[in-house]
Each structure stands twice: as structure tokens, then as C-alpha cells.
Amino acid sequence: MMVEKIVDAFKDRFGAEPVIFRAPGRVNLIGEHTDYNDGFVMPAAIDRYVYFAIKPNGQNVYRFHAFDLNKSFTTTTDLISPSKSRWANYLLGVISQMVGYGKDIPGFDCVFGGNVPIGAGLSSSAAIESGLAFALNHIFSLGFTPMQLALIGQKAEHEYAGVKCGIMDQFASLHGKKNHVLKLDCRSLEFEPFELRTDNFSIILVNTGVKHSLASSKYNIRRNECQVGVDILKKYNANISSLRDVSLDVLNEHKSEFDKKVWDRCSYVVEENLRVKQAGEALQNKDFQLFGRLLYQSHYGLKEKYEVSCPELDKLVDITEPLDYVLGSRMMGGGFGGCTINLVRNTHIDQFIEQVKLHYKTPQGNTPDIITCVIANGAELFS
């Protein structure tokens, strides 16, 4: 239905038959706030999408319409710069990066919209960037690889949206593989798929109802705090360029030189990288109990050391603790709101939902949105 609405909106607005693309949102099973520290993450694309109806218009103009917002934006092809229309910056940033690579991006019309919740930690912004990048690459035969498209989306987020994000979100939206999570080395950009079939348990998201905005949150502050720690340790080893290069032993050796907050931030990141590696081993061995325990450990690190959780996220995780049919639970995404991610045995999904609804209401007093995810493929031509 969503696709049909977007196509109809395109035809009504531009009087032409578009080509349809889609790009998924993502979940991150484990490895939070490690990507911009050159660490490891373990995301997967999910069956929530942003759809794009696109067609070249033969004019020197870009015309965008955000279906979900019912807002439009137009600019000429020779005038690409950040706009006061924040939503348009995700698109303009992608075009700007491609032009920076020396590519000619002719005028086109675009209507986009979808069912990736905004502000829930499912990377709706990355789905927009990745979907447009994939579509333009296809339509204009630009020759970019999927990883290059991910880097284009990341730089668009940096320069046009003002969020110094890592590569994970755009990577997952473009490289997703059905029934697999992807362990990504955010430094080398090498990745390894691990099979994660949901025959016996499901990935279920619970939305706190608290929306976050990374650009205006403490995200960039956390990034700077990590850099402070790196700068301290660099004095002893010039080869340390990020927390990826730091072991717990080295960190503990110099603990007295750290402000407590900075040490907490850095120790969390180093520990989280170790958890991602352990999570990969657990999946290889089909040890889902261990995998679930690592999710809980990740949450408490994010809550106590990285301080990016919030009371609503903590409440949702606390609800799961006594439930033996929940293998693991944690906050997911940048923090300060959004969703928890839960591994729940398929035999008890109804009980899980019942418990959540019984014990949690959003700040607005509503029953939270509960989303069961299917692990899906990455950006693709839809029709």
C-alpha cells in the first residue's frame, strides 16, 4: 500500500511513470557507539523500508517531495548547498558527495516515504541516504560500489545533517543479507556474515515513544570524550589512533590520568568491541544463551558507563530480566530514546507483548509500538 501511495503521488505531482527503489532500516544486534571509534559492530537490515519513486526530468532542477511529511523542495542543479529544510539535506548531501567525485547528476524528480519510524533508532536517515545513493547510481550508471555508496551517505550525514556518525547505518542499509547479521570492522571495512535464522526466536523492538535527535543530543560530545582518551594514550604509544587500538590492560594502566567520565566512556568502548567478537563466536556455535547475555551486558555498559540510556529504555530492559523466554535485551541506536531490541522465544511472543503492555506506557500514556523484525536484503531496485 505504501508503494502504491508513493507511486500515485509521483504521477499526480510529475505526470510520469517512475522507477521504484527501496532501502531498509537496520537494527544493530550489538556494538553500539563503537563505529566512530574504528571498532566492530553487528547490524542487520530489516523489513522496514524507505521507498523512492524517481525519474530524470530533463531539466536543470531537482524536485523532491517527502510523502510522510507532505513537504516539497526544489533547487537548481548548479545550486547544491545545505538547506533550511532539514529533511532535504539528506538528499542534497548525497548529490553533493557524488558531484564531489566528479559525477554529473542530471535533474530528477523524486517522491519518497516509508515505514521506518523516525527517531526510533532504526536509521531512517541512513535509509534515505542509502536509497537515494543506490537509485542515482543505478539510474545514471555512476559505477560506485556498495561500500562507496555507504561512504557517500556517511559524508552526507556529516556535512549536511551535522551528525558525525560512523559507517554502520549506511553500510547495513546497502549490504544487508537475508537471514544474516554482518560483523563489520569499521576501520578496514571488511565484514563477515553470520547466519541468524529466527526459526526458534524473534527479534522484537519496543519503541519507548521517546524520540531522539542525534544532531541535537549528546552524540558528538561522546565522540569528543573518546578522543580525549585517545589523546592521553597517544603520549605513550604513537600507534594509537583510536580506541580500537587500546586494550583493557593499557586503559587500566593509565586510569589515574583519566577524568572518571572519560575513562568510563573509553572502557565501555573497549569492552563493547570485545563483546562483538564474542557475539560472532556465539553465533557460530549457535550459543544463543551467551549471545543474549552479551546483549544485557551491552545495555548496562551503555547505561552506566556511556550514559546514553534513559529511564524509559531502562524500564523496558528491566521488564525482561525475570522472563526466561527473553534471551537478551538492550537499548539500541544512539540512545536517549528510541527502541530496545529483544531476542524472544517464538513460543512466548504473545506473553512478551502482554508483559510489556502491562508494565510500560509511553510518556504520552500510550501502549508502546512493538515491531517484530525480519532480517532482509539491502537497498534494491523494487520495480
pLDDT digits (tens, 9 = 90+) for 294-344: 999 999 999 999 999 999 999 999 999 999 999 999 999 888 888 999 999
CB distance 379 to 200 below 8 Å: no
Within 10 angstroms of residue 372's Cβ, the number of other Cβ atoms is 16
pLDDT, residue 216, reads 55
Band (pLDDT 50/70/90 cuts) for residue 215 is very low
From 104-113, 159-168, 291-300, the region with the lowest mean pLDDT: 159-168
- Would you say 310 and 208 are in contact if contact means Cβ atoms under 8 Å apart? yes
Rounded CA separation 42/196 (Å): 11
d(CA 367, CA 344): 19
Choice among 43-47, 159-163, 227-231 with the minimum mean pLDDT: 159-163
Residue 382, all three cell numbers: 523494487
Using CA atoms, how far apart are residues 304 and 260, in angstroms rounded to an integer? 12
Place of cell 545495555: 299
Residues with a catalytic annotation lie at: 169
Q: What is the pLDDT of residue 282?
A: 97
Least Cα distance to 201 among 7, 373, 38 occurs for 373
Mean pLDDT, residues 24-34 taken together = 94
In this prediction, residues 141-160 reach a mean pLDDT of 96
What pLDDT, in 10s, does the model give residues 46-84?
999 999 999 999 999 999 999 999 999 999 999 888 888
DSSP classification of residue 257: G
How far apart CA 36 and CA 47 sit, in angstroms, is 25
For the chain, what are the domain ranges?
2-196+377-381
What CATH number does the domain located at 2-196+377-381 have? 3.30.230.10
